[in-house]
Every structure is written in C-alpha cells, then in structure tokens.
Amino acid sequence: MDFKFLLKPKDTNSPCFVEEGPSRVLLGGALQDGARLASFKLDNDQAVEYKVFVQASGVSSFDLAASWRAYRENFHPSSVRGIPDVSIDSEPRTEIETVSSVGLELDLEHYVVPAPSNSAVVYAANLTENPRSLNNSGSGSDYFSIADDIVSIDQPETEMEFNTLNPSRVYQSSKLVKSQSVGTMSNLRTEHGQRGPFVDRGVGHPRIVKCSSLKSFTTNLSLEPDTKNSFPAAAGAVAAGAIADQMLGPKEDKHLAIVMVSLPARGKTFTAAKLTRYLRWLGHNTKHFNVGKYRRLKHGASQSADFFRADNPEGIEARNEVAKLAFEDMITWMKEGGQVGIFDATNSSKQRRNMLMKLAEGRCKIIFLETICNDVDMIERNIRYKIQQSPDYAEVPDFEAGLRDFKTRVTNYEKVYETVEEGSYIKMIDMASGHGGQIQVNNISGYLPGRIVFFLMNTHLTPRPILLTRHGESQDNVRGRIGGDPALSEAGELYKQKLAKFVGKRLESERAASIWTSTLQRTILTAGPIGGFPKIQWRALDEIDAGVCDGMTYEEIKKNMPEEYESRKKDKLRYRYPRGESYLDVIQRLEPVIIELERQRAPVVVVSHQAVLRALYAYFTDRPLKEIPHIEVPLHTIIEIELGVTGVQEKRYKLMD
C-alpha cells in the first residue's frame, strides 16, 4: 500500500500537513523504508522532521473508507463552522451587488420553465378512485391508480442459502413475517422445521446472524396470503408500528377505513385528498373513494337540490345504493392488499353511519373523521369554488343559478345533520384557517391512527408558496463524487447570488418567511446571501448518507464494489448504502419536515439536496414511492409549490444552466 504521513496540530482545528517527498510503501505489515524521517512543510515555509513508524493490523475496506472520509473532513474543514442553527440577516449581503455578472430580470416569468407534472387546478373528487362496480368490463382493470405499485401484491418465492441460529435459544415465534421494509426480521424455516432470524441490510445483500452453532440449509421464503400485503413499503418507525399493530390487533384492524363526515363545502374532500397523499408517502397503500363520483356515474351529474332532500325516498335510496357500492369496492380492494381506505361522502346522519358500520363488521376498522367549519366567509369561498369546478354544475351556464341550487342542497343537508357521537372518531372544528380551532378524539389507539391525528392537527387551508431548490453546484458535483461536505464551485457561487435576488423579488410582498437548509456547508453557503428572513438548519434535510461510498464516484463504486452497484441499480428505493441510508430511510427522517411545512402559514424556502428534494416533491405531487429515486430535480432551478384550498400547483424557474 502506498501512502504518506499526515501531521495534525494537537487540540486545534487547523488542517493537516502532508508529508513531503515520495510515497511510502507498506508491504505485509512492514514499512519498507522505515529509517527515513518524515518531513513536513508548514504554512510559514518552515520545515519540521519527525521519526515515524507504522503499527499495521488488518482492517476492512469499510474501515479504510471511513478513515479516508475522516481525513478529507479534517484536511478540508467546513467554511461554515460557527454559524448558529438559527440565524437572521437583517439585510442582504452587499457582496451580491459587487458581482457584475449577477444580473436577474425583474420579470420572474422570464425564468419559468415547463413543469414535469400537471400543475393545472383539478377538482379533488376527480382524482379519486374510479368505480370498479360500475365498470362495464367487470374486471376492474382501470380501477387502480398510480399508487398501486406502492406495495407489490404478488411476490415470487425466493430460494436462498443461509445460516441459522440454534432454534432452542432464539425466536421461537412462528408469527414473524416478511415486511416490505428493509432491515426488518423475517421468520425462516429449515427443512427440519427449525427457525432462525434473517436480517436484510438492503436489496441483494442479506446479512447473516452468526452463532457458534450454525447450520447451513436452503429454504423457500413464503408468506401467508392474508398477511403478506398488510405491511407498508416503509422503514423505521412506520414499519415497526405497522408490525406491532398487525401482530397484536384484531384481524379487522389490519384494514382501516377513514369515513368522512361533513356538510358540503366544509373542506371534506380536500382533507381526504391531503390525508391520502400523506399516508401514501409514508408507504401505506391508501386509496380515496368519493361517493359523489359513483353517484354521477350511476345517476348522472345534473341532479338538482331536490335529489338531496330528506323527504325524497327515491333520492335517499339512490344515494344509499351508491354508498354501498363504493364501500364494497373499498372492501374488495382491501382484500387484494389495500391498507387504508378514505371513504369520502357527507355521511351526515346516524342512519347512514350505522349502515356503514354494519357493512364493516369483521372486515375493517372504521374511524369517522368529521370536519366542522363555522367560518361563513370560508364556506362562501368553498361554495363558489365548487360551482366553478364540480362536474355537478359543468352543464349549468348560469353561475348564480348554480349557486342558488347548491345552497339549497346544503340547506337540505343541514335539516337532518347529526354530529358524530358513536364509535371511534376524530372531529376537526374550525381547523381550516390554521388559527386556533380544536380537535376532538374518541376511542383512538394504535400507531397509524395516532399518526393520522398528529397530521390532522397540523394541517390547514391557508394559501402559501413553498420554494424547493438544490444547493448551488458544489466542487464534488464537478468531480462527479457523491456525499461529502464540499464547498461551492464557481457556478455555485454565482447561483447563490442569483437565488438571493430571486427570493428577495418573489417574497418582497410577504410579511414573513423562513429559509431552511441542511447542516452541510453547500446549502448553508447557497442560502447565505439571502437577507431579511430567519435561516434554520435541519439535520433532517441532509443529503442521503452514502455510508462507505461517501466521496466516491459511481464509476468507482461499479469498479470496486460491483455487488453494491448492481444492488442499487436493481431497487434504488429500498437499497441501503453500507453503513448509510436508503430512500425509505430518508422519507422516515423527513416526516417532521413535512409536518412543519404543513403547519407553516408563511412561505418557506428549502435549500437542500437531490435525494431529499425528490422525497419532498413526491409528497406534494403525490408521486408513487418507486418513482422517487428517478424524479428530476436539476441544479440551479427553483420548484415553487403553491398550497391552498385548490390543491397543489407547481411552477419552475431556471435561473441558470
């Protein structure tokens, strides 16, 4: 092995000094030229010499990579050390104005580029599941949405040779089953009926648990059809919570139905869509079933307010019929692997809710989610938006006539409305504005219901933009190396100044905003010139941890670690770098970021990294988990996500190539 010695001053953060002269040679644990003194040239041109020796012992390639990473961090210390986690500059940095090449058009529309997703306003109910029971083909082939591939329904059995521990000493339970997550434990059975734990470190790389009493054999991995689809495609707390609930809870608790309850125009469908997006992003196979969509397909879209009267038996029968169809479709989907169904309808009477509870007996657990809004102005805005976007009024040319009809429909519902007092329920009272309100919870237990309550406590309808951008180009971007903590390149230095001008222009009319960065210097430097807003460093926003591959190029990984390279290529979502992270791990640590972004009522600028922004972008745009590692998030581009009552809209600005 060729190497040079490093000289590091004691008890200081000064950089190391590299030995002068030719590289030394370590062969078989012995230094070939051990008599030569080590000479070091200091910053003041002073030269010092030391007698050196090597005590060598065998180390793994992982330890060598870790030592190399430690050297790089010491030799190139971060230029942002000492900057507090929360800081604020009252004015933009003056260095912006001194660079003549940092021009920015006053019209920000000049920088708009096409967004890959459809950013047009879409009525939320139109994005829900297509009715299977009303499909003429009867096969349901058009039933599944883009979220179907979140959880694989049928997985082939895999034959694998591995070692097991002595079954008399460990894990006698026969109920350990395979999880969709990486790094969880499965129950494996030998040809003689013995069982042992198997821990999966990542795709294609099982880590075998070793013991003094090992026995090698071949087995087939197979799961019971009733349980193999019940777990989320997730890691960490989500996987652990799901496993605990599935193993210890009643059979019907393996499937959860969130049944919406509300008067029209109270944000019910918007809340259902938002909750669906959140649960899908966490890895739970979730679908949104809108009864209104069934009604329009079964009975037509142009039903007048009389159809919704409580004294119209034909209308009541027709509405109950489509509610049953939608509920049965949801149950059928759950039997095929679905985990959480959002049942979206007014469900405003005890009679209707009792009907649904009887349909759910022994099949799924029901939690009622009631949204109550007493804000007259907000209700009026929601009603007007519904007249403009709902298919119910697409063929009504007179806006005022449609408005009168819908208000009459609401009055019909109000006459018979009964608030939820039965079963398990969550009540959101005046929570839409994000100012105060209250949430009431009854008979709620379990990991997933608890996460749902926590999420709902932090959501609102206040419109505000969220700006997502990667750091400016870094020195490692130029070299093609992953990870690390490098400084910015010349192009990155230019982008950070353009970004500061863009943010100042885009948010000049906002009373408040905040700038979020990771703890790595390339994002802190990129956000540095932005003035007037608080800057907050989040460890959760750090780039995906490449473990022992940190600082390498993909070509180096392919050459030196071909099995790791192929494993990552096979499944980028679940692949975990040795001693590092997978995309599923990143999603888990980003959940607090998502909750806080939902809770914020002012604009937020997030300066982070490619893998992290892919995961955040997928949440807001409801992209399937398997697409996250392949989402395009280019350098020097700003992705603006607009949140509000109309849903999520996207706009992209490219400031430089």
User: From CA 377, how far away is CA 400, in angstroms rounded?
Assistant: 17
Catalytic site includes residue 43: no
Name which of 152, 141, 298, 305 is nearest 223 in CA terms: 152
| Candidates 200, 344, 476, 485; catalytic one | 344
User: From CA 329, how far away is CA 292, in angstroms rounded?
Assistant: 14
User: From CA 594, how far away is CA 618, in angstroms rounded?
Assistant: 11
| Candidates 473, 542, 543, 585; catalytic one | 543
- 405 within 8 A of 305, measured Cβ to Cβ: yes
Q: Which two tokens stand for residue 394?
A: 């697409």
First to last CA, the chain: 42
Judged by DSSP in three states, 200 sits in strand
CB atoms within 10 A of CB 160: 12
User: From CA 588, how far away is CA 605, in angstroms rounded?
Assistant: 21
Q: Which helix (H) or strand (E) holds 292?
A: helix 291-299
User: From CA 588, how far away is CA 237, in angstroms rounded?
Assistant: 7
- In whole angstroms, how far apart are CA 139 and each of 132, 134, 135, 270, 316? 8, 10, 8, 29, 29
C-alpha radius of gyration, the chain, whole number: 29
DSSP 245: H
DSSP string, 519-569: SSHHHHHHHTT--SSEEEE-GGGSPP--GGGTT-BHHHHHHH-HHHHHHHH
| Candidates 255, 373, 460, 622; catalytic one | 373
Phi, psi of 649 (to 5 degrees): -125, 150
Angle at 441 between CA 435 and CA 446, to 5 degrees: 120
- In whole angstroms, how far apart are CA 177 and each of 211, 230, 237? 22, 10, 17
- In whole angstroms, how far apart are CA 596 and each of 15, 248, 412, 451, 457? 38, 31, 38, 14, 11
User: From CA 275, how far away is CA 598, in angstroms rounded?
Assistant: 11
Catalytic site includes residue 471: yes
Catalytic site includes residue 364: no
Per-residue 3-state assignment (H helix, E strand, C coil) for 604-642: EEEEECHHHHHHHHHHHHCCCHHHHHHCCCCCCEEEEEE
Task: Find the farthest-apart pair of alpha carbons in the chain and give their distance in angstroms, rounded.
Answer: 103
Catalytic site includes residue 636: no
Helices (DSSP H) in 336-422: which residue ranges? 350-360, 376-389, 399-416
| Candidates 288, 471, 609, 636; catalytic one | 471
- Tell me how many helices (H) and strands (E) the chain has: 16, 26
Q: Which amino acid, residue 125?
A: A
Residues with catalytic annotation? 344, 373, 471, 543
